[in-house]
Structure formats: C-alpha cells, structure tokens
Copies of this chain bind each other. A is one copy, B any other.
C-alpha cells in the first residue's frame, strides 16, 4: 500500500456496470508528508474527502475483495483514511 492525499476527482463515463455511481478520486502519492510526482485514479470505499490523507491499495485481486465483488475491472482503491502516521525522518 501507499499513502496518498485526495486532490480531486474525475468525471468520465465508463461503459461497465461496476462504475455506476462510483466516484473516481485523484490521489497524489505522498512520502514523508510531501507530495510526490505520482498520482493514481482510485475508486473509494471509505468516502474520502478533498485533502484527506488516505491508504491506497493497488492490486486488482485485492481491490475486488475490498469492494466485495468477484469480478470488476478495478485495480486501485482507497481503503482507509489515515488517522495517524509515526515516522522517522527520511535521510537519503
């Protein structure tokens, strides 16, 4: 999993019943509290809002289990809102 920050959403029609009513969040990946150069478009099972720090799971099989479906064309999903992070400083 990775830590990310919700920075927006995408409106797009996807012709597959799985996406009916699904929000598509833009999540900027975060490292040590700072934005990185990567993002991912995620579905969401926790109702994350703008600017919230979240956990992202990025594997198809896992994403389907989190959504509670056997099939479904998904790979990246917001699985939790981050309540707290305990972390040493990065010493590159």
Which chain A residues have a beta carbon within 8 Å of chain B's beta carbons?
Answer: 1-3, 7-16, 24, 26, 28, 31, 34-37, 39-42, 45-46, 50-51, 54-55, 57-63, 65-66, 71-76, 79-88, 90-92
- Whether the Cβ atoms of A35 and B1 lie closer than 8 Å is no
Cross-interface CB contact of A61 among B8, B34, B60, B82, cutoff 8 Å = B60
Cα distance, A52 to B81, chains bound together (Å)? 26
Chain B residues lying within 8 Å of A63, measured Cβ to Cβ, are 73
- Using CB atoms, name the residue of chain B closest to A51: B88
Chain B hits for A59, CB < 8 A: 60, 73, 75
Q: Which residues of B contact A7 (CB under 8 A)?
A: 87-88, 90
Q: State whether A79 touches B16 (Cβ < 8 A).
A: yes
A40 touches which of B2, B72, B80 (Cβ 8 Å)? B2
What distance in Å separates the Cβ of A92 from its nearest Cβ neighbour in chain B?
A: 6
